[in-house]
Chains A and B, each alone.
Chain A
Amino acid sequence: MQLARKEEIFAKDGNKTYSLMAIVEGESLHVERGPENTVQTWPHLMVRELLLFLVVLLAILGVSLLFNAPLEEAANPLHSTNPAKAPWYFVGIQELVSYSAFLGGILVPAAIVVGLLLLPYLDRSPKGIGVWFSADRKLANTLFTVFVVAMVVLIFIGQFLRGPNWIIRWPW
């Protein structure tokens, strides 16, 4: 619409070698970058991705050469280990199960999964996209931090503080 209207004002002149193509909004001229501030994917992004891959590979290789994966004696259904722990990412849930079966086995896992799935449909505020710890999202950030800290603390207690007979003790 703007284009058509402007053309009437700036009538075409056969003697001119230029014409108005479009009017775009902008506060100042962009110097040395395109109007969208983009760069070529190759090489700028891809080279960084490849470098990151090398770093990851080297880190894993280094750790693997230094530390052996744990392997205990063969499985024996007649003798349970003391204590018996789930893999570390489930130890937080196990810690909750040891307080209450309903709380840890049903309520919390279901609440976490359903909450995470519904999160973007419950938080419809368009504020704070693309900024770390946006000041516009204090409540959301606080709630999520509580969740993350609770998970980390529960996993830490379950993994390091629980000794034989599931008794709290210092690991060192």
Chain B
Amino acid sequence: MESGSSNVTALPLKAAGEAADENRRGFVKKFTLSALLLGIGGSVLQFGRFLKPNVLYEPSQTFKVGELSKFPYGSRTVIEGRGIEIVREKDGIHAVSLVCTHLGCLVKPVDNDSEIGYACPCHGSTFALKGEVLGGPAPKDLPWYEVYVDNSGTLVVDTSKVNQKRTKLVV
């Protein structure tokens, strides 16, 4: 655009300007669209939290199951309505889940069997005395939950914490 530039040189300059303009417009368009999408999408995703209840009207996952003396050595006690069984042996005490890892049925403890400890009535999974899968469709072992004795000498089970190492509580 300096002095002496003819129409011939001006034309491509103008065209280049237009192209730049188009680029700018394209960029602004894309920017606006993505900002809009991000904003709306983000809000919708965040609002999805509305569907996740913050308060559950379910029984607490930490609960007392009774005095230690209620569980003599060598006993297996099913806690009705909680889906767990308290097993006490000479070397300690543990709480095992009775909810089948297959499809959530309640497994039944099997007495007087040297191998099978639990059997699921729904789909025939069987578990060893310590909850390991023996047969059937169950994909995982029955989990053990954390247990502890509170200061009043009562046994407490926390089903929100899985005892991954399967350690027994020695009392």
Contacts and interface: CB of A to CB of B under 8 A. Distances in A.
Contacts of B136: 98, 166
A98 B139 CA distance: 9
B78 to A, nearest CB: 10
Contact of B121 (A78, A82, A97): A82
Interface stretch (B22-30, B61-69, B98-106, B146-154): B98-106
A81 B121 CA distance: 8
A164 interface: yes
A35 B67 CA distance: 91
B10 interface: no
Contacts of B103: 84, 94, 97
A166 B122 contact: yes
B72 interface: no
Contacts of A101: 102, 137, 139
B139 A166 contact: no
Contacts of B102: 97-98, 101
A167 B137 contact: no
Contact of A165 (B80, B106, B124, B139): B124
Sorting the interface of chain A by its residue count into under 10, 10 to 19, 20 to 34 or 35 or more gives: 10 to 19
B123 interface: yes
A2 interface: no
B137 A99 contact: yes
B4 interface: no
A77 B83 CA distance: 10
B113 to A, nearest CB: 15
B121 A98 contact: no
A83 B137 contact: no
B81 interface: yes
24 contacts: A77-B81, A78-B81, A78-B106, A79-B106, A80-B121, A80-B122, A82-B122, A83-B123, A84-B103, A84-B122, A84-B123, A94-B103, A97-B102, A98-B137, A99-B137, A100-B137, A101-B102, A101-B139, A165-B121, A165-B124, A166-B123, A166-B124, A166-B136, A167-B124
Given A83-B123, A84-B123, 17 more contacts: A77-B81, A78-B106, A79-B106, A80-B106, A80-B122, A82-B122, A84-B105, A84-B122, A97-B102, A98-B136, A100-B137, A165-B119, A165-B124, A166-B122, A166-B123, A166-B124, A167-B124
Interface of B: 80-81, 102-103, 105-106, 119, 121-124, 136-137, 139
Interface of A: 77-84, 94, 97-101, 164-167
